[in-house]
Structures are given as structure tokens and as C-alpha cells.
Homo-oligomer: A and B are copies of this chain.
Amino acid sequence: MRMSQLLMPTLRETPAEAEIVSHQLLLRAGYIRRSSAGIYHYLPLAHRVLQKIMAIVREEMNKAGGQEILMPIVQPAELWQESGRWQVYGDELFRLKDRHDRDFCLSPTHEEIVTDLVRSTVRSYRDLPLSVYQIANKYRDERRPRFGLMRGREFIMKDQYSFDRDEAGLDQAYQTMYEAYKRVFTRCGLTFRPVEADAGAIGGAGGTHEFMVLAESGEASLVYCDACDYAANVEKAECQAPALAENVTEFPLEKKSTPGQKTIEQVAAFLAVAPATTIKTLVYRADDQLVMVLVRGDRELNEIKLGNLLGCLELRMATDVECQEAQLGPVGFLGPIGVQAVSIYADQEVMALTDAVVGANETDMHWVHVLPGRDFSVTAVADLRMIEVGEPCPACGAPLQAARGIEVGQVFKLGTKYSKALGCTYLDEKGQENPMVMGCYGIGVSRTMAATVEQNYDEHGIIWPLAIAPFGVVVVPVSNKDEGQMAAAQEIYEQLKLSGWDVLLDDRAERPGVKFKDADLIGIPLRVTVGNKLASDGVVELKVRKTGEQFLLQREEVLSKINALRQQLAPTE
């Protein structure tokens, strides 16, 4: 492609509304344009990146036995009513009516409609397993669309659904997809980790991994192990059970005055004990019940774990008024001793303490020398806290590392949630009717483009991995008035095209500085510069965007050098 003909409206300034790097750079480099909040145009450069990501996705999904289809974006409300999600989905669902006043929505996801499709087309165990996928627009009416393509209202996803006879089939489908996803993101040239994640409210059979592109700007907090493959969302990461002390020296329970000392830090300092020997008492409202939750003073409660333990739909901290109404002690001095009115849940570490401090349910008073079990008992003990960096890996015991990640894919065991709700069954060998066992698997295609930028940029612009770069090479004649340079550039351009490269020829009447800056900004992996040295020494310059390496090459060497670099720049699996 000739750059003079390319719609590439670069911007000199970073647009003020763009908060994160990918949003800034994709706007500045002319990849995207905003149409309305959270809704974007993909311009030619972006379209090329998307097409390359999609091609990799297609290849790997087909290889993994997926069959590509296209399902409607405009979906009838009836199906969502059948699954119960028409009500549950809330404001994020774009809803509309047709001219006959029938209700529809713009699909945020396709579980209902694919289940409807399969129940009406598949009847026999002989037709299973089945895995279908599509690459299509998805819609989510975000309250506050932001971060460019990261949290848009209209976005492109690959979504896939597997249908199996039983759990064992689902396990196999899940594993196949897990491996295929690893190949997709590896081939895209990304540094990523599949992490154990929480199945949340969607989960049927449970079991889910998120594929996280590692980047400092990531919204997700992860821990991972360098010694083994373990990685998990902090929300999900299991904490090891603490060793229980043997030969405990018991001290008698004692109430102490702690005037005005409310926070763990204050109390620990005032009583001259380590925060790790104090107990933090929290009160939550789980659906319509209050519960008391205990974690060690130096730890943080993991609300996801608590919610899963309680199996509640809604969970939030109780207000001071709610605590008062339940006749719990004053906030800042709450504690479990003597409490009967509410259930008490303790993190497993709390029960390993032998000489602890906890609020006494009286203003300005704490208990010391508390021995859990002796001084209070609890409804249940569980892993309820956030894991921390340096803690032992649950798989191998090595110290965990922390990272931030951007979720670009998720694999998910749905089980029979939708097949039961919508009556998607098959007849087995004995003629018995069974619900199909389902999995679902998503890749955020437009999000992957943005996540790639978050992970691959410098102060000059984007640095695309070769596999998904809009063009692999840009050929820049320093002066487009120099006929020799232009002819050589043109020749190199044609030669590279012929050998299968996506090449851009910067044939614009611009100063060389502008051309170099634009090449860096739009992030083309390789740049061939045809300048004065061509006439003097017969050489051109080759520069690698990512490493900054430069090579002076005889004109005839360019193709072979670039083909050699292709190997070098390809991702290693």
C-alpha cells in the first residue's frame, strides 16, 4: 500500500479524553475514531490488525474442531426471558422494540440464542460433541464507557460454545480450548498468562480461566509462580492453610481500655502488638442477612471468596445503622466474643492465632489474649482473604509474584445451566433424554488489539508484534524528489510484496523526520530507509522498531535479511 493513499489521520497532540496508552496511541496513530461514547470506527490500519488477529483465531479454532457460524445480533426477548436473564441483565443490555412492538436486545453474549439453535437442530448423541463459534459485534451499554477499546459499548468478540454429552466431554472440550487459546495469544506475539479465575454468578459446573495480557495498566491483579505454571486472579488465588501452633501457652482473656483506637494500626501500636496478632471484624450484608467476618488484622478480606462461601446474590458492607439495629458493638470496636445474633465466618488464619486482640463490642475497649475457639466460636472457617505477593504458590510452594493483567480471553464451564433452562437435550444410546453439558469460550478481538498496544509501546508510539502488525515493513525514501531513491524504494517495495510481505511505501511528499516519526508512531516492525547512502555506497538502512537495531545493507541483501528477521521476530512457543 502506498501511504499517500492510506486513510491514516494521525494527530499531533494526544487527545485529552484518552486516559490510557492504547486509547491515546490508537487515536494518535490514526487507527480508530470515536463515533459516540464507547463506539468507534476502525480505520484501515486497525482493520488490518483486526483481520490478522481474526485469521489466527479462525485457524486455531478450526484446528480445535470449532465450526464457524454467524448468529443474530438482534435477539428476541423471549429467549432471554426463558433463561431468566431478561430481568437480571439490567441496564447493560441494549433493548429495542420492532415496528410491531416486540422486544429485542442487542446481544452482549450468545448463550441463549446458541442454546436455542442447538436444541432445534441437534437431537442425538451421535451429533455430539459439537463446538460452534462466531466472530461478531457484541453490545454492552456501559454506564461509563472509557479507555477506548478496552471498555466499549460496541466491540468485536469471538465467542464459542461447546456441547457435550457429559462432564467428561466438557472437561476435554475445555482443555482443548485452553490449549488453543494459549496458541492464539502466543501466535499474536503477546506476553500473557492463563489464570484461574472466579466463576462468579454465571458459573454452573464452575471452572474458568482468564487469559491475561500482562501490562501495568491492566485492571486485573494477578499472582503467578515462576517455578511452575500456576497463575490466578488474586480474587481466586487460594491461600495455603496456616500451620496450627502446637503447645499453645494460654493466657487468660482480658479486657483493655483503648480510648479512641479504632483502626488495626492504632490498636496494634497502642497495645504494642503486631498487627498480625489482631483480628479484624467486619460486618457484611449478604442478601438480606447480616454476617460477621473475621480476618487477621494485617490481611484483606476477599469479598469474592466470601460471596462464594455464602452463595448470596448481593454482598456489601453493612452500614453503621444496620450494625446498630442488629445490636452489634460500635464500629471500630466490633468483635465476635459473646455475639449470638449473627453468623460468624472466620478466615482460616484467624483460627491459628493463639494470643490475639479483638474489639470488645464496647466503645474504647478491646479484648487481649484472645484464643479463638476458647473465647468465641464461629459458624464456619474458610479461606476468605486476599493472597499477597511472596506467599507460597498453592501448587508448588515457591513464592508468588504479582502482576497486572488485561483480560483478553476466558474459557468457562457452563455445565447444564442454559441447557436445562432452555430444554436443550439429546437422546443417548438408550433413548434417554439428557441435558447437554456446555462450555463457553470468548476472545475479545478488538480488546486484544488494544491490550497489545498496552504491552508494546515506547515514547515514540506503538510497537506491533510482527504477526498482527498492519504492515510488516515500511519502505521510506528519504526524499521523494530523488528519482534514484524513489526507484529503489519502489523496487524494494514490489520485491517484498512479491515474497508475501505486507508492505507500506511512504511515497508522501513529507520531510524525512515526519516519515520516520509516523513509521514509529504507527508501529511498523521493520523500516527500510532509502537515503543518500544509496547513491554513494549502494546501501540502504534497515531498522528494527522494537530493539532499535540498525543494519546497513546492500540493496540486494534487503529481502534475505528481512526474511531472516521474520524468524527472529516470530513468537517462540
Write the residues of chain A forming the contact surface with B, with a CB cutoff of 8 angstroms: 4-7, 9, 30, 33, 35-36, 39-44, 46-47, 50-51, 65, 67-76, 91-92, 94-96, 98-99, 102, 104, 106, 113, 116-117, 120-122, 126-127, 130, 132, 137, 139, 141, 143, 153-154, 156
Contacts and interface: CB of A to CB of B under 8 A. Distances in A.
Given A33-B117, A117-B41, A69 B47 contact: yes
B69 A44 contact: yes
A50 B71 CA distance: 13
B39 A72 contact: yes
A126 B480 CA distance: 15
Q: Main SS of chain A's interface residues?
A: mixed
A421 B30 CA distance: 25
B70 A50 contact: yes
A448 to B, nearest CB: 15
A15 to B, nearest CB: 12
Contacts of A117: 33, 35, 41
Given A7-B67, A9-B122, A130-B7, A72 B141 contact: no
A127 B10 CA distance: 13
A126 B44 CA distance: 18
Contacts of A116: 35
Given A41-B72, A137-B137, 12 more contacts: A7-B122, A9-B122, A35-B116, A40-B72, A42-B71, A44-B68, A44-B69, A47-B68, A74-B154, A94-B96, A95-B96, A99-B143
Nearest to A30: B121
Contacts of A43: 69, 121
B36 A72 contact: yes
Nearest to A58: B51
Indicate how many identical chains form the complex.
Answer: 2
A73 B74 CA distance: 11
B73 A41 contact: no
A142 to B, nearest CB: 9
A69 B35 contact: no
B99 A70 contact: no
A91 B95 contact: no
A144 to B, nearest CB: 10
Nearest to A137: B73
A132 B104 CA distance: 31
Nearest to A136: B137
Contact of A41 (B6, B69, B137): B69
B35 A72 contact: yes
Contact of A98 (B5, B74, B94): B94
Given A68-B47, A69-B47, A96-B96, A74 B143 contact: no
B42 A69 contact: yes
A2 B496 CA distance: 38
A75 B35 contact: yes
A529 to B, nearest CB: 23
Contacts of A137: 73, 137
Contact of A91 (B73, B74, B99): B99
A36 B6 CA distance: 40
